[in-house]
Structure 1
Amino acid sequence: MTELLTAAQMRAIEAAAIASGEVTGLELMERAGRGVVEAIFEEWPELAPSWGPAPKPPEYFLQNDEQGLHRAVVLCGPGNNGGDGFVVARLLREAGWHVEVFLYGDAEKLPPDARVNYERWVAMGKVLPLTGASMDACGQIPNLVVDAVLGTGLSRPIKADLADAIRHYSWTFLSGVPVVAIDMPTGLCADSGRSLGVTSLEDVASLPKTVSRTPAEELGVSLTVTFHSQKIGQYLDYATQFCGKLVCKEIGLKRRDAQRVLGSIPDPATARKRNPAAVVTGLEWDFYTPEFMQGQSILDKTATDHKYSHGHALILSGGVSKGGAARLAARGALRVGAGAVTVGCPPAALIENAAQLNAIMLRNVKDVAALTDILADDRINALCLGPGMGVSDESRDLVEAGLKSGRAMVLDADALTLIGRDAPLFAMLHDRCVLTPHAGEFARLFPDIAKRLAAPATKGPAYSKVDATRDAARRAGCTVLFKGPDTVIADPSGRGSINASVYERSAPWLATAGSGDVLAGFITGLLARGFGPMQAAESGAWLHTECALSFGPGLIAEDLPDELPKVFRALGL
């Protein structure tokens, strides 16, 4: 489990550490700058001197700038992010680099710690204003650019003159040049990952009338370095496209002290149970580590167990030629550990399904009466409704019967469409349900929330996918898994987690027909095993990505369930 923080939470942790006397703001800024330089040299070892960024090497080791060796441009902003930039500039200069520093804003208005580091840099080199004209004057293409303009401090659209300066500079000098952002690329909100846009250029007569792209897009960031803990916005929306590689560096803040500030110190006894994230404030992503999954013993069975000891999942299918989605879900449920899985389908589809299913049982579900009869079997403890069911009146009645049963269930695909257009069905949702919409289905279920999420962001913290999923879960009264590369999961209590298939966990081959049906099956199987709705959704999403990463490119949906045994073995289960 990795805890994600908001910008405000990170500031509170730093402020508490400073107030306690444990560390000064200057020390934190120095550690941050050193962390950035370390990350640069780790990412591009060919740029690193053998002695590292500090202490200062002997003069005869310094690079000869006349030969045009390593040049850096550091873009500093008016806050503490800019202060980090001045530290980076100084350390690179001490390592023999030629460094040019540009400041956006008035040096006299810098925060105290940033001002100290500004003065330290001024003793070594010049600071030029961050404008298009002054940046043009630097004349040479650098080996590296450091974006220390705004970081996590962005709360409103960036100024037009800043956007234009970065745009002009990037077009002139930055083709193929590595760019490193400190905390967040300029222009992106640290709490939502969204762009806050650019203020109007109409009153700036000397600048062009349009700026089509944000600074984050213009700079083309290769590496983002953040501190202590990743931020929520780094795993959402535009940030996943424009942060490049994400690296988190420690700056000496104690984890337990930080948790105390957030009111989230785990109880060790609780942390051993199946729901440890409930004791953590904020967001979690990639929730299930191998060590945690080993503790869950998903596949543990004893000599006295039988198939129904591990749950019985019922998955309803569509008619003839419409059963593929349900079969994928059923195979996912069986592979993830459900003791028994049954596919229910109309009579005409029985032969088709029987020809393709072996370990998975079949039942004739021609109408609500047939489903009610099947659900009289108390061993059936989890349902999956929606994949391939269709949106007919008959399907609507089956969804209603499933909801009336009170069983733990996953509602996906066509079931979501039915619920979205039927207020009485929506009102029947309960806290044992898991909704698994993609963006289009989410908009049909929660049109006003989706509209708010799609509206241009004009101030920070911007309304995020996390906010939208939490609002949706509260309204529906059940767990919502909002799918995407930045999948967000929330329950009615407001607890949320992110399973982000981005950065080193990027699995673009998951964008294939049927993969969502397998995910629905994973979650259903875990519900059958006794997992709670939130935990089943989190675990299913994590395993879904792990299977994709394990298989690799060329993946099709049928491969996902069959990859689970390999993933489980790798986890030591």
Structure 2
Amino acid sequence: MKRLLSCAESQDLDASTRKLFGLDPLLLMEKASLRLWDRLSLYIDNSAELRAKGKNLSILALCGKGDNGGDALAMLRHARSAGFGNLKAIVSSQPLSPSAQAQRGFLRSAGIPCPEWGLLGEAEKACLYAESDIVLDGVLGSGVRGAARGEALKMLEFMGTAEGLERAAPEGENQPLVVSIDLPSGLGDSWTKDLPAIKADLCLCLEPIKEICLSPSARTRCGRILSVGDVFPRDLIAEAGSSFLLEEDDLESLLEPISPESYKMSRGRVAIFAGSLGAAGAALLCAKAAIAAGAGYIYLYVDKGLYPLLACSGESFILRPLGAEAEIPECDVILAGPGWGSGGERISLLRALGSASERALILDADAIRLLAKQPGLRASIRSPCALTPHPGEYKELLKSFGPPEEEPFSESIGALAKKLDMLVLAKSHISWIQGGNTRFVWEGMTPELGVAGSGDVLAGLFAGLLARKIARSRKVGATARFSRRALERSMEEAACAAVIAHGGAGRRLAGSSGWFDASQLVESCAMLVHGIDSREGARK
């Protein structure tokens, strides 16, 4: 896992670093800009199109008045030192920060043009832009508050701030590679999708990456993200923030080990309440995914009308018909909602399912919609609970439990999880997991996973992996009951493991097979999880 920081936390880290070493801001800018240039230089070397231009590559820096603009100016100086000669900058007409002013002076000494924004005509700006191969976006940095204003807004509008908006180069002429420094200008802690922001092709993000760059609505503004490390001390980074970027290598540490003598009950018990007429596939996928996660004993409860259709499926789970009174089996985890429908009897059943404080509950799909439509249901849920909404279901939850949808995503998911006192796994092209005061982010960006049944697979994986953790805790603790906090922590870890396994399996399938269906995804998840379970040292 890697740390993610809010913009405010990033500024605190910058200040702490300067205080630790007694650094002038210009010295820290020197280190950061050199790391940024080295990363961009490597990208240029690996791009056949850019590499072919050699040292004639044209780079334009568009610089605001702050230190982000200073970083862009310093990068031009490093480019000059590397032998590039076709370099220009357009700087803010406003008074520059001391560090940015110093960087401008260095470039002027080297004969690199740095005209002010306000002194150039629109045609001159467009010409400079169109003649460039790379444009460095240094207009605004992490200190932005609210919407861009004044000259900064004009710079953003000049570059094109919205999806589909033409950039400054006239149609048919060269469109340069837009490279944002640290984060696209306009993004910040208070950014929402209705506010302007640069749409970059490439974003050179200083580590720790800003979490706003990985919010669902902002991620597409960043283009390809390349992280740039070795700027801030590792011990200070380790103390900063409470958000984490999940990586596929984290999966092994999140899985409970499987002992050679384990049997079905010792690997966890899951009860799934899913499916309805016309949506039997959701129930099947959930059950199969729980098995793929390594859970040992799976109950699948379905409506009586659906029971005959599934009874002859030959699957290895325990199939039970729903009666008038809900029969709650002895289990570690209950998963409810996939393909469930919204009949009136579901409300009373949901109340019954959430009544046990020592049992984990996962609500997905239609169960989430029921909770959103019947907010009073929350009071009847005593179980430690997790929600797995897709974007539409997430909006429904916000309407019922707040805060307003217009709030920044990082604030809304934190407030929602706190209000409900539940873990929230908000799944989309970028998935966020908010549990307590800690959040985890999975940078999915795998459109092939956008297939019917994909969410059912994720829910089943989550339930199965959580059941494994609870069963392991039960065995180690020699008791069937353990603290609510321990159960909630297990939920966080299982949710993280589920999104990694789901996302990693999707990437593998996309790479090997192209488009795929949910059944193939289940098989790929099983292979990924079992492959880790089978490694030497994983069995204990």
TM above 0.5, yes or no, is yes
- Normalising by structure 2, we get a TM-score of 0.85
Aligned residue for 2:90, secondary structure, equals strand
Alpha-carbon spacing, 1:318–1:178, altered in 2? closer, same or farther (3 Å):
closer
Paired with 1:394 and 1:196, the residues of 2 have a C-alpha distance of: 40
Aligned residue for 2:142, secondary structure, equals helix
Aligned equivalent of 1:404: 355
Q: Report deviation, 1:112.
A: 2.1
Paired with 1:391 and 1:34, the residues of 2 have a C-alpha distance of: 58
Aligned equivalent of 1:312: 269
Report whether the alignment pairs 1:386 with 2:345: no
User: Which one of 482, 486, 494 corresponds to residue 437 of structure 2?
Assistant: 494
Paired with 2:32 and 2:467, the residues of 1 have a C-alpha distance of: 47
Alpha-carbon spacing, 1:75–1:223, altered in 2? closer, same or farther (3 Å):
same
Aligned equivalent of 2:67: 80
Aligned residue for 2:340, secondary structure, equals coil
Alpha-carbon spacing, 1:295–1:183, altered in 2? closer, same or farther (3 Å):
closer
Report whether the alignment pairs 1:517 with 2:456: yes
User: Which one of 506, 524, 531 corresponds to residue 563 of structure 1?
Assistant: 524
Paired with 2:245 and 2:339, the residues of 1 have a C-alpha distance of: 30
Alpha-carbon spacing, 1:449–1:129, altered in 2? closer, same or farther (3 Å):
farther
1:310 maps to a residue whose letter is R
Q: Report deviation, 1:439.
A: 2.2
1:434 maps to a residue whose letter is A
Q: Report deviation, 1:103.
A: 0.4
Paired with 1:306 and 1:386, the residues of 2 have a C-alpha distance of: 28
Q: Report deviation, 1:42.
A: 1.4
Q: Report deviation, 1:164.
A: 4.0
Paired with 2:375 and 2:127, the residues of 1 have a C-alpha distance of: 63
1:150-299 mapped onto 2 (5 Å cutoff): 150-158=140-148, 159=150, 160-167=153-160, 170-172=168-170, 175-189=174-188, 191=189, 194-195=192-193, 197=195, 214=196, 216-217=198-199, 221-260=200-239, 262=240, 281-286=241-246, 289-290=248-249, 292-298=250-256
| Unpaired runs of at least 5, structure 1 | 53-61, 64-68, 198-213, 263-280, 456-462
Paired with 2:462 and 2:224, the residues of 1 have a C-alpha distance of: 30
Paired with 2:186 and 2:255, the residues of 1 have a C-alpha distance of: 44
Q: Report deviation, 1:319.
A: 3.8
Aligned equivalent of 2:477: none
1:141-156 mapped onto 2 (5 Å cutoff): 141-156=131-146
Provide the identity percentage.
Answer: 23
Q: Report deviation, 1:192.
A: 6.1
User: Which one of 437, 447, 456 corresponds to residue 399 of structure 2?
Assistant: 447
Aligned equivalent of 1:427: 379
Report whether the alignment pairs 1:300 with 2:258: yes
Aligned equivalent of 1:113: 99
Paired with 1:568 and 1:117, the residues of 2 have a C-alpha distance of: 51
Q: Report deviation, 1:149.
A: 1.1
Aligned residue for 1:186, secondary structure, equals coil
Give the count of matched residue pairs: 493
Aligned residue for 1:447, secondary structure, equals helix
Q: Report deviation, 1:111.
A: 2.1
Aligned residue for 1:404, secondary structure, equals coil
Q: Report deviation, 1:511.
A: 0.8
Residues 313 and 524 of structure 1 are in contact (CA less than 8 Å); yes or no, is this contact kept in structure 2? yes
Q: Report deviation, 1:429.
A: 2.8
Residues 315 and 329 of structure 1 are in contact (CA less than 8 Å); yes or no, is this contact kept in structure 2? yes
Aligned equivalent of 1:268: none
Residues 201 and 222 of structure 2 are in contact (CA less than 8 Å); yes or no, is this contact kept in structure 1? yes
Aligned residue for 2:77, secondary structure, equals helix
Residues 518 and 557 of structure 1 are in contact (CA less than 8 Å); yes or no, is this contact kept in structure 2? yes
Paired with 2:254 and 2:91, the residues of 1 have a C-alpha distance of: 52
Paired with 1:448 and 1:345, the residues of 2 have a C-alpha distance of: 28
Residues 251 and 501 of structure 2 are in contact (CA less than 8 Å); yes or no, is this contact kept in structure 1? no
Aligned equivalent of 1:277: none
Aligned equivalent of 1:549: 507
Alpha-carbon spacing, 1:282–1:77, altered in 2? closer, same or farther (3 Å):
same
| Unpaired runs of at least 5, structure 2 | 161-165, 471-489
- Normalising by structure 1, we get a TM-score of 0.80
Aligned equivalent of 2:484: none
CA displacement 1:538-562 (0-9 Å, x = unmatched): 2211211111011113121112221
Paired with 1:10 and 1:319, the residues of 2 have a C-alpha distance of: 48
Report whether the alignment pairs 1:329 with 2:286: yes
Aligned equivalent of 1:37: 37
Residues 465 and 488 of structure 1 are in contact (CA less than 8 Å); yes or no, is this contact kept in structure 2? no
